[in-house]
């Protein structure tokens, strides 16, 4: 696969709907994935905002199978596969590669803190060697505010040198534009695809030659984000970016996952979309009302939301 054929554009860490008893709701998950694909959003299933780290390996595999069996295109999928335990990461990654997924989004092992670049290099290398498949495309996942285990530029440099073609890119969720910029300048010219960790930096990333963004709010506001991704060279691109920022800020005033799920519950009319797994907690009634009002004020509406019910 040449770098030109690789996945680009807007992807979303797909929210995982749960039944009231906390089991994953495979049917609603499938419908949500279809809805995203219809709007040209790629499926970064099992990301942070998917509550994937609250799912067992078996649960992730069953949900992936649900999508594949329904005929959804693996070429539009980038499942999150990075776990604390090496055998789990290898198992999930193998299955994603075997299914033909565009790539995998890989957290570093995140329990032990203050680990060295040498240790993280060995962790990624052990996965790549364990999967042992030339089709593997690894997108490393830099999200220090949550994982507390950063992926440094030095580590990326070493991984790129050791595994050219396999180490394919990064999602930078540091929230630090200077870091994204450094990645874009140093690695994008080598065909290492830099995805911004949210649409907040979408325009800046595309202007600097980056690949797109992988963003939580793609779950709820896909149309306008995809539009900017397509029209970033247009005259009103900055205006579009500002509008995206306004909508994102509404969700960002809450814990994002329950806020997005509450919005889908409200828009689709299906109350159990609001369910989250512990340690997360649903928005309370007051928060829900405030969120509804804030979304109404920015004319937020999810197209064809009834199909998500």
Catalytic residues, by residue number, are 48, 111, 141, 171
Q: Is 174 in the site for its own copies (CB under 8 A)?
A: no
- Out of 68, 280, 294, 305, the only residue in the binding site for its own copies (CB under 8 A) is 280
Q: Is 36 in the site for its own copies (CB under 8 A)?
A: no
- Tokens standing for 212? 């797109």
CB atoms within 10 A of CB 148: 12
- CA dist., res. 121 & res. 114, Å (int): 14
Minimum CB distance to its own copies smaller for 14 or for 308: 14
Q: Is 55 in the site for its own copies (CB under 8 A)?
A: yes
Q: Is 57 in the site for its own copies (CB under 8 A)?
A: yes
Strand, helix or coil at 107? coil
- CA dist., res. 24 & res. 45, Å (int): 13
- Tokens standing for 67? 């999508």
Total of residues contacting its own copies (CB under 8 A): 40
- Three-point CA angle 132, 136, 139, nearest 5°: 125
Q: Is 53 in the site for its own copies (CB under 8 A)?
A: yes
**C-alpha distance from residue 39 to each of 35, 126, 210, 220, 226 (Å):** 7, 36, 21, 11, 8
Site for its own copies in 203-262 (CB under 8 A): none
Q: Which stretch binds its own copies (CB under 8 A): 3-11, 28-36, 111-119, 259-267?
A: 111-119
CB of 256 to its own copies, least distance (A): 11
Closest residue by Cα to residue 256 from 211, 309, 195, 198: 198
Closest residue by Cα to residue 137 from 7, 13, 33, 48: 7
* Cβ pair 140, 102 in contact under 8 A: no
- CA dist., res. 217 & res. 44, Å (int): 12
Query: Residue 129 burial by CB count (10 A; 0-12/13-18/19+): exposed, middle or buried?
Result: exposed
Q: Is 175 in the site for its own copies (CB under 8 A)?
A: no
Q: Which stretch binds its own copies (CB under 8 A): 80-88, 188-196, 219-227, 236-244?
A: 80-88
Strand, helix or coil at 217? helix
Please give the sequence-ordered ranges of beta strands (E in DSSP) within the chain, or none if there are none: 9-12, 42-43, 104-106, 138-142, 167-172, 193-196, 212-214
- Out of 2, 4, 5, 58, the only residue in the binding site for its own copies (CB under 8 A) is 58
Q: Is 119 in the site for its own copies (CB under 8 A)?
A: yes
Site for its own copies in 120-159 (CB under 8 A): 120, 122-123, 125-126, 145-149
Site string for its own copies, 184-213 (x = CB under 8 A): ------------------------------
Minimum CB distance to its own copies smaller for 39 or for 89: 89
Closest residue by Cα to residue 221 from 8, 7, 15, 6: 15
Q: Is 286 in the site for its own copies (CB under 8 A)?
A: no
Q: Is 279 in the site for its own copies (CB under 8 A)?
A: yes
Q: Is 61 in the site for its own copies (CB under 8 A)?
A: no
Q: Which stretch binds its own copies (CB under 8 A): 34-42, 105-113, 200-208, 237-245?
A: 105-113
Minimum CB distance to its own copies smaller for 51 or for 193: 51
**C-alpha distance from residue 13 to each of 104, 130, 235, 245 (Å):** 12, 25, 29, 18
Q: Which stretch binds its own copies (CB under 8 A): 9-17, 33-41, 114-122, 193-201?
A: 114-122
What residues line the site for its own copies (CB under 8 A)? 22, 48, 53-59, 84-88, 91, 108-113, 115-116, 118-120, 122-123, 125-126, 145-149, 277-281
């Amino acid at each position: 696969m040449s770098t030109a054929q690789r996945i680009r554009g807007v992807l979303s860490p797909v929210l995982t709907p749960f039944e009231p008893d906390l089991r994953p709701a495979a049917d609603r998950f499938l419908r949500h994935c279809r809805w995203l694909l219809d709007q040209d959003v790629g499926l970064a299933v099992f990301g942070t905002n998917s509550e994937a780290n609250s799912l067992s390996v078996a649960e992730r595999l069953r949900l992936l199978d649900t999508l594949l069996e329904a005929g959804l295109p693996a070429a539009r999928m980038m499942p999150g596969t990075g776990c604390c335990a090496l055998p789990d990461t290898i198992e999930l990654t193998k299955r994603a590669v075997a299914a033909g997924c565009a790539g995998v989004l890989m957290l570093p092992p995140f329990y032990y803190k203050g680990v060295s670049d040498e240790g993280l290099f060995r962790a990624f290398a052990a996965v790549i060697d364990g999967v042992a498949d030339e089709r593997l495309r690894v997108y490393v996942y830099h999200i220090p505010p949550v994982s507390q285990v950063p992926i440094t530029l030095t580590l990326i440099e070493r991984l790129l040198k050791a595994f050219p073609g396999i180490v394919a890119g990064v999602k930078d969720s540091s929230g630090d534009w200077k870091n994204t910029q450094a990645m874009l300048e140093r690695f994008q010219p080598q065909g290492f695809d830099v995805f911004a960790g949210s649409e907040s930096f979408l325009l800046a990333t595309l202007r600097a030659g980056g690949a797109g963004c992988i963003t939580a709010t793609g779950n709820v506001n896909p149309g306008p984000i995809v539009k900017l991704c397509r029209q970033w060279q247009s005259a009103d691109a900055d205006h579009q970016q500002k509008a995206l920022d306004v909508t994102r800020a509404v969700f960002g005033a809450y814990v994002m996952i329950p806020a997005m799920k509450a919005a889908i519950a409200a828009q689709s009319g299906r109350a159990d979309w609001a369910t989250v797994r512990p340690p997360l907690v649903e928005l309370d009634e007051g928060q829900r009302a405030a969120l509804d009002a804030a979304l109404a004020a920015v004319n937020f509406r999810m197209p064809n939301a009834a199909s998500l019910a």
